[in-house]
Amino acid sequence: MNRPTLLPQLSSLVRRTPVRDGLGVGVAVGFSGLAFGTTAVTSGLSVAQACVLSLLAFTGASQFALVGVVAGGGNLVAGAVGALLLGFRNTLYGLRLGELLDWRGPGRALAAHGVIDETTAVALAQNGRADVRAGFTTTFATLFLLWNTTTLVGAVATESIGDPSTFGLDVVGPATFLALLWPRLREGGRTLVVALLGAAIALAATPLLPPGVPVLLASIAALIALGDGKDDATERSGK
């Protein structure tokens, strides 16, 4: 009885711009959980640890950062601090989204888990509160489901093969970071300088300091961004 009305309802829902945007981004990015599951197990995490990290942290760059330090045999405290430093940009996204979404209480506590790069990008591209909320929620739900499922699949698949490096899986982690960073690198200018300086600091410090610490030290390079404020206008209009 429901069937004839349900399908048109579904298709009209999917045709709404924020829902379509959210599904598109969620599906495109969600499968990169495969890369995370693979990298996590290659680095020495168990399947359970990889899955719990995806469920709780649910922010790709921070997760990759922690397992990257684990892979290098690094200090776990330094690894966690590095991951949290990377997660700090979600605080900034939350500052912008808080006003737009305008959820309170339990709704806000739930929505907070979804404050990441992709949901922010989709939400900010919508007009009006209803569409902002729809875009945010669709992206969050799609991405959360896929990211966690594919983390599990990637982790289990990697665990079942003997030596992941035979398949070149040790390069998936750094290649993921490169792909994430690529759009920012193309901006050139000060962003490129920050990136090159960050890499140089980490490489120079590696023979001298315990693994994990050189990555933290690289955040000094971000101080360049504090300099003069002439990029302000472009940054505000560009985001």
Residues 130-149 that bind other proteins (CB under 8 A): none
Contact region with other proteins (CB under 8 A), list: 1-9, 14-22, 104-112, 133-141: 104-112
- Minimum CB distance to other proteins, residue 68 (Å): 5
Q: Distance (Å, rounded) from C-alpha 190 to C-alpha 111?
A: 33
Half-sphere exposure of 117 (CA within 13 A, CB side): 12
Tell which positions 14-33 bind other proteins, by CB under 8 A: 28-29, 31-32
Q: Assess contact for 122 and 135: CB atoms under 8 A.
A: yes
Considering Cα of 104, then 117, then 148, then 213, what sign does the dihedral take?
Answer: negative
Contact region with other proteins (CB under 8 A), list: 13-21, 83-91, 121-129, 135-143: 83-91
Give the end-to-end CA distance of the chain in Å, rounded to a whole number.
Answer: 47
Contact region with other proteins (CB under 8 A), list: 4-12, 13-21, 90-98, 135-143: 90-98
126 sits near other proteins (criterion: CB under 8 A): no
Contacts of 58 (CB under 8 A, 6+ apart): 113, 114, 116, 144, 147, 148
How many residues of this chain bind other proteins (CB under 8 A)? 110
Tell which positions 30-69 bind other proteins, by CB under 8 A: 31-32, 34-35, 44-45, 49, 52-53, 55-59, 61-66, 68
106 sits near other proteins (criterion: CB under 8 A): no
Tokens of 168: 């070149």
